[in-house]
Structure formats: structure tokens, C-alpha cells
């Protein structure tokens, strides 16, 4: 019998409220060491609050568990020294150079051989030629590389990345993710929140939060298969008219335009096909059934009232 891999994150029943607003409500989360786990959910679903509890910046109101084998309630200072946390917004000094920012971080962690570590992380992040450039002069993609370099400078065992590529161009996003996968091959665990489905598909496992609760988890193919979603794709003329009508039709749970195609999904085949029947016979339109994509499932979950945040 194959043993389960050791866990980097193992928490149960986490709760956090701010005043009367419950942000995280009884969250259970387990992430294996060396795994890249995608954290999905609508804005306000509790992703950022969860990340901050896991890295010791917030104390849970209730719940228990471990992060890197340390108690999330009692060992926050020790957890912070072994975790790299990257915030949504660039949080380094824009009037310091790339090198100066990394030197500042190295001093905070009291790192030995600081200059050698900085040189190594600059090389790895492709920042060596920009070491003397002011951080405020970097483009969005290079700022994210600097932020990631600062996160890994102290050689953490776990990275918590909060929408790290928001607003970054596709080439920079791909290069950033190549770097994440390179780190994961060395045994670093990554929990990364994202709204990009192509990024979610690059994760070993994804979890979907809504209303501060975990409602779906598994690999991308597993999540798609368990959704029970049926998807038809329309091409041709008057798709905007079809979209407006189908959004109100019984049996249709999500409607989304993707370029020149219209994707229509539901979980009850008979009522879905009945809703589509007038449009499938419309001249100038063609409809085919296709396997649902992760994007279809994500839109479906966002629209599902059971999971309304």
C-alpha cells in the first residue's frame, strides 16, 4: 500500500470574522508537500484571509491545524520564517534598486552569506541585468519576478502566492509559472490564488472556495468530471440574440461568449436541449456538444446559488 505524501498544510474548521462579517467559515484544507495547489473563488470568497492565517499574519477565531508541522495558532512566528508570502499588490520599495530591496529582505531574515544568496536568486529570476534598476521603474512582470525572488531568498518550504500574475502580460505569466514549477521540482510547496484558468490547469490540484468554505477540490480533470456539466458550443450568426434569450431559459445554468463562439452549459440534459432546440434549428447557426472546460465549470460555480459567496 502506497503511503500518502506528508502534508505541508493540514487545517480543519478555520474561521475568521471581521466584525459581523464571517469571511472564512469552517474551512478544511490539506496540501501535500511539493504540490502546486491552485486556490480559486470569486472576490470575497476568503482566499486572501486564508493565506494570511496560514502564514501567521492573522490568528484564526476558531479551528486548528498545522502549517509545515507547526501549529497555526501557537507557532505563527516560526511559520513566518519558513514561508514565503507574496501579496496581491507589489509591496517593495520603489525608490530602492532591485539589489537593495533584496538586501533589505536578507537583513530582515538575518541571512548568512547574504550577497551570495542574492546573486543566486537574481540569476534564477533573470534579474541579474536589472539589479541596479529602481524597482519603481520595472514593468509589472519584472516587479512580480522581484517579489517572487524576495519570497524565496530565505529558502522557504512553502510559498503562498496571492494572485501573483494579475495584470501581467501572457509571456510574463508563462515565464513566472515556469519558475514556479522549477521551484516545485525542488520540493517547495505552492498554494497560489488565481482567476486565470490556464494557470489553474497548471496546478497539480485545485480547490474552490465560496463564502469562506471549500466546495470543490481535486485535479482539474477530476473537478471537471465531477461537475456533471453538459456544454454545447454555438457558432454562426445572431449569437448575441441567442445569448440574451438563453440566459433566461430553464435548464441553462451558464452562458458565456468566447470570441465567435457561445458556450451554453447546464446539468440537466433534457431541459438544456429543450432550451437550445429553437436555436439549433436556426439557419446560420451550428451547435455541437463539447466536453466542459475548467472555465465552464468555474463560471458554473460562480453562478450556482448554493455556492453564492
Q: Collect all residues with Cβ–Cβ distance below 8 Å to 283 and sequence separation of at least 6.
A: none
Question: Are 279 and 287 in contact, with CB atoms under 8 Å apart?
Answer: yes
Q: In 3D, which of 292, 298, 293 has the Cα closest to residue 210? A: 298
Rounded Cα distance between 207 and 193, Å, is: 9
CA distances from 250 to 117, 281, 291 (A): 60, 18, 21
Rounded Cα distance between 297 and 38, Å, is: 15
Q: Where are the beta strands (DSSP E) in 90-170?
A: 158-162
CA distances from 128 to 102, 107, 142, 145 (A): 12, 20, 12, 11
The pLDDT score that the predictor gives to residue 2 is: 52
21's grid cell: 462579517
Rounded Cα distance between 242 and 248, Å, is: 10
The 10s digit of each residue's pLDDT in 6-34 is: 999 999 999 999 999 999 999 999 999 99
Question: Are 127 and 145 in contact, with CB atoms under 8 Å apart?
Answer: yes
Rounded Cα distance between 165 and 150, Å, is: 15
Average the pLDDT over 156-162 and give the result: 96
Q: Where are the beta strands (DSSP E) in 50-168?
A: 62-67, 70-71, 83-86, 158-162
The 10s digit of each residue's pLDDT in 170-219 is: 888 898 999 999 999 999 999 999 988 999 999 999 999 988 889 899 99
Average the pLDDT over 91-99 and give the result: 96
The 10s digit of each residue's pLDDT in 35-57 is: 999 999 888 899 999 999 999 99
pLDDT band at 3 (very low <50, low <70, confident <90, very high): low
Domains along the sequence of the chain with CATH: 7-220 (3.40.50.300), 230-291 (3.30.70.100)
The pLDDT score that the predictor gives to residue 300 is: 82
Q: In 3D, which of 301, 261, 264 has the Cα closest to residue 285? A: 261
Question: Are 255 and 246 in contact, with CB atoms under 8 Å apart?
Answer: yes
pTM of the model as a whole: 0.89
Kindly give the interhelix angle for 114-124 and 140-152, rounded to the nearest 10 degrees: 140
Amino acid at each position: 500500500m502506497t503511503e500518502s505524501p506528508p502534508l505541508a498544510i493540514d487545517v480543519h474548521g478555520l474561521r475568521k470574522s471581521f466584525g459581523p462579517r464571517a469571511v472564512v467559515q469552517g474551512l478544511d484544507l490539506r496540501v501535500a508537500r511539493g504540490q502546486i495547489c491552485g486556490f480559486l473563488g470569486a472576490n470575497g470568497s476568503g482566499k486572501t484571509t486564508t493565506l494570511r492565517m496560514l502564514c501567521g499574519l492573522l490568528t484564526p477565531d476558531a479551528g486548528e491545524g498545522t502549517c509545515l508541522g507547526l501549529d497555526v495558532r501557537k507557532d505563527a512566528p516560526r511559520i513566518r520564517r519558513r514561508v514565503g508570502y507574496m501579496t496581491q499588490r507589489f509591496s517593495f520599495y520603489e525608490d530602492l534598486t532591485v539589489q537593495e530591496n533584496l538586501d533589505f529582505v536578507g537583513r530582515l531574515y538575518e541571512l548568512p552569506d547574504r550577497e551570495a544568496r542574492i546573486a543566486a536568486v537574481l540569476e534564477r529570476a533573470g534579474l541579474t541585468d536589472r539589479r541596479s534598476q529602481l524597482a519603481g521603474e520595472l514593468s509589472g512582470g519584472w516587479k512580480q519576478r522581484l517579489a517572487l525572488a524576495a519570497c524565496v531568498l530565505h529558502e522557504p518550504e512553502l510559498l503562498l502566492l496571492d494572485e501573483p500574475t494579475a495584470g501581467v502580460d501572457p509571456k510574463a505569466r508563462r515565464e513566472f509559472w515556469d519558475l514556479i514549477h522549477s521551484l516545485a521540482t525542488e520540493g517547495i510547496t505552492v498554494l497560489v490564488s488565481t482567476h486565470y484558468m490556464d494557470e489553474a490547469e497548471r496546478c497539480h490540484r485545485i480547490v474552490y472556495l465560496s463564502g469562506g468554505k471549500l466546495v470543490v477540490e481535486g485535479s482539474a480533470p477530476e473537478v471537471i468530471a465531477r461537475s456533471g456539466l453538459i456544454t454545447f458550443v454555438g457558432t454562426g450568426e445572431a449569437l448575441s440574440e441567442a445569448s440574451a434569450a438563453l440566459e433566461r431559459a430553464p435548464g441553462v445554468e451558464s452562458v458565456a461568449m468566447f470570441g465567435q463562439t457561445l458556450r451554453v452549459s447546464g446539468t440537466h440534459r433534457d431541459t438544456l436541449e429543450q432550451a437550445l432546440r429553437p436555436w439549433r434549428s436556426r439557419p446560420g447557426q451550428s451547435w455541437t456538444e463539447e466536453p466542459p472546460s475548467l472555465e465552464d465549470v468555474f463560471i458554473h460555480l460562480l453562478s450556482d446559488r448554493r455556492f453564492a459567496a
